[in-house]
Structure 1
Amino acid sequence: MAWEVRQMISDQEYVARIRRHRPSALMPLIALASATYSLGAWRKSRSTFKYVPWALADVARVSLACGNEFRNDASGQDLEKILEMYTQLDDHFVRDVANLDSLERYLLRMSGEQLTLQESPYQNLARTAAMIAQTTATREPRCLRPGWDEDLFGTGLSNYVGIAQLLWASALKCGGRFDLAWLETPGMAPVLEVIPAATFTAVTEAHFVTDATAFKEENKAARLTSDPLRRRFEFNPLRGKPFLRGYGPGYLTPVSDLIPDKGSPLGIYYTGVARYGNAFAQDLGDLFEAYVGRQLDLWSEAEVVPEIIYGRDNKRSVDWIVVTDELVLLVEVKSVRPTQHLRLATDRRVEEVRRMLGRAYEQIDNSAALIASRQKEFTSIPADRPVQGLIVTMEPFHIVNAPFQRAQQPSTAVPVSVCSAGDLENMVTITDAPIGRLLIERASDSQRSTYGLSEAFTGHARIRNPVLDEGWNSYPWRRSADRHSP
């Protein structure tokens, strides 16, 4: 295959171009562009494609980490030029286009950088309450006991997500800004009826706001490699605290699209693990397993069977078995998310993905064999129809079904796909075709079966997901609106 290789720009040139300008001059421009082209608005024309959130986030990162205030002013044209340079940054793949391994690593880096910022904020935020507050775990919690959220956030989980929603709405409307002085205005009275000003301020300061000095320290500490071609794929501290102080009145967020992540299960996970360690992750994993069961129960034409205990050693099957007229679907739940080694496509990437998902493939294959052999505990599961496996992850592994990634996992006798919680939430609400039939059609296509699961459901009619709606409606601004409605 012939590849057209453009003139590439080194990371050093790109960083030097950003450093021409004072951070205090660039930050408001980045923030305004982000608010203007948020929620996918950058897709509306070819000329606006440069304003993608991942590019804006990196420009902000470089300016904060490497810039200083003894530089020049900046204009919208300067930002535009910088963003154009971003699209031409050098990459290992460009240097070795004939190497399949180079292509595979490139795809991992691109998906980790770009696709994570194109997930549905509504689904992510709604899932937080639906999973953590409205799902009952089957095991005794280690950390998530009454009052855990007050201890972790300084307020209840619902109010914490509500603060994230309000900060996000303000950023979109006000060019990336939120000023605590606005809490004193009459229009904010309904907000303060729900969340006192002191609580709102304390939570915002503790969990959403950083400054240039702290940013620089965290950015340096978070670097996994010293490779300049991988620099832009490293963790960006704005994901942890999206607002800055010291850049004009109130707080400024360079990238509005990063705010909802703070209230998502991913944001809750990192905040909780930083405080409580692995016990918090285990509690979330238990809830996620039960949450997947709640979503599967929405599958109207299916019977959902929980894990089966079998044998003298009380072994366990997959987490859920779904039986339809068309197939048996073996569902294994993994509360995992791509690590930095996957996002950077380091030499440890294969080891990491096997560690996180390998056991799930084996569990599915083992359960399929038990059904086929008519193990006595499995005789209620029909053996007269196709069997497939589905691994559901808490966060997306966007290209995990691609051939090069599938080859890194254990081989199985039945087709196995990986999907995210969001994919599952969409799948179970399809109304115009049997879901089982769609899964069989996908598995029988050698090309489509390597795509993300959502491709199989594109164009099909769906109803709203009632589990997500219940989660979304539990947040304070929706409750407040209901109280004040006639």
Structure 2
Amino acid sequence: MGRHKQWLTGPTRRESITFNEFRQVVRRYRPSELLPALAELSLAGGEPPYEGNTLSSVPPWATALAARESVLWGNEHRDAEVTGDSLRVLINAHNDIYERPPTQERDGWAHALMTRLAYEQFPYQESIFEEVSRSHALMVEGASEIAVEVLDDAAWNRLLGAPLGEVVGATFFLQVAANSNNGWFDSDFLDLDDLQSLYDIWPRAVIEDRALQLSSTFEEFKAAYEAVPHPPTGYERYAYNPLIKRPFLRMPDGRLLAPQPRLILRTVSPGALYYRGMDEFGQPFSRDLGNLTEHYVGKQLGAIQPSPELHPEIVYREAKDEKKSIDWFMVLPSVVIMFEVKSARYGLLDRAAVEGYQDRVKALLNKAIDQLERSSNALDSQNPHFAHIPSDRPRVGVVVTGEPYYLANSPWTRDLLTATPFPTLTASLRDIEFLAGLPLDEVELQLVQIANDPERSTWSLGNALDKARGSRSPVLQRAWDAYPWPEALVTAESA
């Protein structure tokens, strides 16, 4: 992994380039040489939390983008050699891409730019432990705890060819194999004597099938890129990267290469499984996931110690209409925290801040805020269905989203939303998981302080929380421990 490290030093870089100029830098090199070098460079950056200057010197999103452009636009009729210095030039070129705001977007340019950058960069900085554990706790455990339409064991076999637990294990195996071999996976690797006992835990056939599911030829990669909507000219940087769904490329010698190995395990995250489920089952899957997400939030909140006073959704009547309250009420000595859960996802074009994205974000979050306010009004009016919820305490509203809306608490987004008579925060499932690891008195203290702090209330909740006072969510830890991780592979992954 060391032969490209000299790229860290070199001449002063230039100040700004267009995306098309960056693409031309990538095209100087044969894909057969550049892609393996990018894989090696990606692994040199390690895993989050990143150390030192990794995010500026080896940004993981930069290697993924360079790999995408190499597959889409590169060819083997190039003479430039891939060296440490050429990689330094390439990464610096990425860091120097500059976007000039179009005149018609200038008013909302800062919000749009930060949205694009957040969805380009933040997912790579998130620990994979939560993503993998959440899939099991949310979709496997959850489906055994509440009624579902389609998401049972047979559905996972239909969707992935094997039970989700086996698929997660097989994906973890591929992650370790790629990390141990500079991004490469060769099926001959499965013949090693030391690995035979692992197949009692994770069937070899599932591993081989998973490798096929997660790989594509160059032609299939290009077709996948063309099959989805693209942002307008000038924003190609933020277009879909097929490596997210299929992180392995089938190289000319038949072996598989992951140019950005960090994407492998993310294919079993809830976000990745969501799109596969929607393609296969449609709206019944969406309804299942909505109900499972609401249940999951309650399970995380119920895991806080000592156990909080927690009340689920209330069905009540207002005039002649039947209505539903917010999803969860947490009654604490000094405050009532109200949680409204939305499982909707940020679309590809929304992540690229394409025109109209603010309207879609506004509509989704305001729908949740309206629900919070209606429930608060029902408390104020002494609606008898709410008699078990104290009406004499301050309230804090929390909108929980199925995936991060990274800028939801920022002034840019807050200015779009309906004002409420009580402080309101937006939180992702990851934020709720952090909250579940805190002692109950810290949950009360920190949520109230954050919600009423003019500055910290504009941060993402996960960043605003003092997580040092807590531990891992017990729900996530149980989900992780449900897998029979072989010690040899866990050791290899953490080495």
| 1:38 Cα offset (Å) | 2.9
Find 2:60's aligned residue among 25, 31, 53.
53
Once residues 378 and 341 of structure 2 are traced to their aligned partners in structure 1, the CA distance between those partners, rounded to angstroms, is 19
2:269 counterpart letter in structure 1: S
User: Which residue of the partner structure matches residue 175 of structure 1?
Assistant: 182
Partner of 1:460, secondary structure, is helix
Once residues 19 and 84 of structure 1 are traced to their aligned partners in structure 2, the CA distance between those partners, rounded to angstroms, is 15
| 1:261 Cα offset (Å) | 1.1
Find 2:204's aligned residue among 183, 192, 197.
197
After TM superposition, which residue ranges in structure 1, 4 or more long, deviate above 6 angstroms? 479-482
Find 2:248's aligned residue among 243, 256, 259.
243
1:265 counterpart letter in structure 2: P
State the number of aligned residues.
473
Find 2:71's aligned residue among 64, 75, 78.
64
1:409 counterpart letter in structure 2: L
1:134 counterpart letter in structure 2: E
Once residues 317 and 137 of structure 1 are traced to their aligned partners in structure 2, the CA distance between those partners, rounded to angstroms, is 25
CA RMSD of aligned residues (A): 2.3
User: Which residue of the partner structure matches residue 331 of structure 1?
Assistant: 339
Question: Does the 8 Å CA contact 1:155/1:203 hold for their aligned counterparts?
Answer: no
Once residues 373 and 383 of structure 2 are traced to their aligned partners in structure 1, the CA distance between those partners, rounded to angstroms, is 14
Decide whether aligned partners of structure 1 residues 137 and 92 sit closer, same or farther in structure 2, where only a CA change above 3 A counts: farther
User: Which residue of the partner structure matches residue 472 of structure 1?
Assistant: 480
User: Which residue of the partner structure matches residue 288 of structure 1?
Assistant: 293
2:114 counterpart letter in structure 1: L
Partner of 1:135, secondary structure, is helix
Decide whether aligned partners of structure 1 residues 47 and 258 sit closer, same or farther in structure 2, where only a CA change above 3 A counts: closer
User: Which residue of the partner structure matches residue 443 of structure 1?
Assistant: 451
Alignment of 1:9-408 (within 5 A): 9-40=17-48, 43-46=50-53, 49-72=56-79, 73-93=81-101, 99-136=106-143, 140-205=147-212, 207-228=213-234, 230-248=235-253, 250-301=255-306, 302-311=308-317, 312-408=320-416
Once residues 342 and 244 of structure 1 are traced to their aligned partners in structure 2, the CA distance between those partners, rounded to angstroms, is 27
Once residues 20 and 341 of structure 1 are traced to their aligned partners in structure 2, the CA distance between those partners, rounded to angstroms, is 29
Once residues 209 and 58 of structure 1 are traced to their aligned partners in structure 2, the CA distance between those partners, rounded to angstroms, is 17
Find 1:428's aligned residue among 436, 458, 466.
436
Decide whether aligned partners of structure 1 residues 220 and 66 sit closer, same or farther in structure 2, where only a CA change above 3 A counts: same
Question: Does the 8 Å CA contact 2:166/2:206 hold for their aligned counterparts?
Answer: no
Once residues 46 and 225 of structure 2 are traced to their aligned partners in structure 1, the CA distance between those partners, rounded to angstroms, is 24
| 1:125 Cα offset (Å) | 0.2
2:305 counterpart letter in structure 1: S
Question: Does the 8 Å CA contact 1:322/1:328 hold for their aligned counterparts?
Answer: yes
Q: Which runs of 5+ in 2 are unaligned?
A: 1-13, 491-495
Once residues 189 and 487 of structure 2 are traced to their aligned partners in structure 1, the CA distance between those partners, rounded to angstroms, is 22
| 1:102 Cα offset (Å) | 1.1
1:208 counterpart letter in structure 2: L
Once residues 317 and 358 of structure 1 are traced to their aligned partners in structure 2, the CA distance between those partners, rounded to angstroms, is 15
Decide whether aligned partners of structure 1 residues 290 and 27 sit closer, same or farther in structure 2, where only a CA change above 3 A counts: same
Question: Does the 8 Å CA contact 1:176/1:255 hold for their aligned counterparts?
Answer: yes
Say which is worse superposed, 137-146 or 182-191, in terms of deviation: 137-146
Once residues 422 and 468 of structure 1 are traced to their aligned partners in structure 2, the CA distance between those partners, rounded to angstroms, is 10
The superposition leaves residues 292-321 of structure 1 with CA deviations (integer Å, 9 ceiling, x where unpaired) of 110010123521101011115331100111
Question: Does the 8 Å CA contact 1:392/1:418 hold for their aligned counterparts?
Answer: yes
| 1:68 Cα offset (Å) | 0.7
1:125 counterpart letter in structure 2: V
Once residues 165 and 140 of structure 1 are traced to their aligned partners in structure 2, the CA distance between those partners, rounded to angstroms, is 29
The superposition leaves residues 20-71 of structure 1 with CA deviations (integer Å, 9 ceiling, x where unpaired) of 1110010000000111213137x43337722111100110011000001111
Question: Does the 8 Å CA contact 1:368/1:414 hold for their aligned counterparts?
Answer: no
Say which is worse superposed, 68-77 or 234-243, in terms of deviation: 68-77
Question: Does the 8 Å CA contact 2:176/2:489 hold for their aligned counterparts?
Answer: no
TM-score (norm 2): 0.90
Question: Does the 8 Å CA contact 1:402/1:451 hold for their aligned counterparts?
Answer: yes
Decide whether aligned partners of structure 1 residues 281 and 45 sit closer, same or farther in structure 2, where only a CA change above 3 A counts: same
Decide whether aligned partners of structure 1 residues 92 and 137 sit closer, same or farther in structure 2, where only a CA change above 3 A counts: farther
| 1:431 Cα offset (Å) | 3.0
1:385 counterpart letter in structure 2: R
The superposition leaves residues 368-412 of structure 1 with CA deviations (integer Å, 9 ceiling, x where unpaired) of 111122111112111221101111112111111111111222222
The superposition leaves residues 412-452 of structure 1 with CA deviations (integer Å, 9 ceiling, x where unpaired) of 22211111111101112113953112111112211111111
Partner of 1:418, secondary structure, is strand
- Identical positions, percent: 29
Question: Does the 8 Å CA contact 2:48/2:126 hold for their aligned counterparts?
Answer: no
| 1:162 Cα offset (Å) | 0.8
Partner of 2:396, secondary structure, is strand
User: Which residue of the partner structure matches residue 3 of structure 1?
Assistant: none
The superposition leaves residues 208-260 of structure 1 with CA deviations (integer Å, 9 ceiling, x where unpaired) of 111111111222232423312x1111111000100011155631100011112
User: Which residue of the partner structure matches residue 423 of structure 2?
Assistant: 415
Say which is worse superposed, 316-325 or 378-387, in terms of deviation: 378-387
Say which is worse superposed, 188-197 or 401-410, in terms of deviation: 188-197
Question: Does the 8 Å CA contact 1:38/1:172 hold for their aligned counterparts?
Answer: no
Question: Does the 8 Å CA contact 1:360/1:391 hold for their aligned counterparts?
Answer: yes
Question: Does the 8 Å CA contact 2:39/2:258 hold for their aligned counterparts?
Answer: yes
Partner of 1:70, secondary structure, is coil
1:197 counterpart letter in structure 2: R
2:314 counterpart letter in structure 1: I
Question: Does the 8 Å CA contact 1:341/1:352 hold for their aligned counterparts?
Answer: no
TM-score (norm 1): 0.92
Once residues 222 and 8 of structure 1 are traced to their aligned partners in structure 2, the CA distance between those partners, rounded to angstroms, is 29
Partner of 2:399, secondary structure, is strand
2:278 counterpart letter in structure 1: V
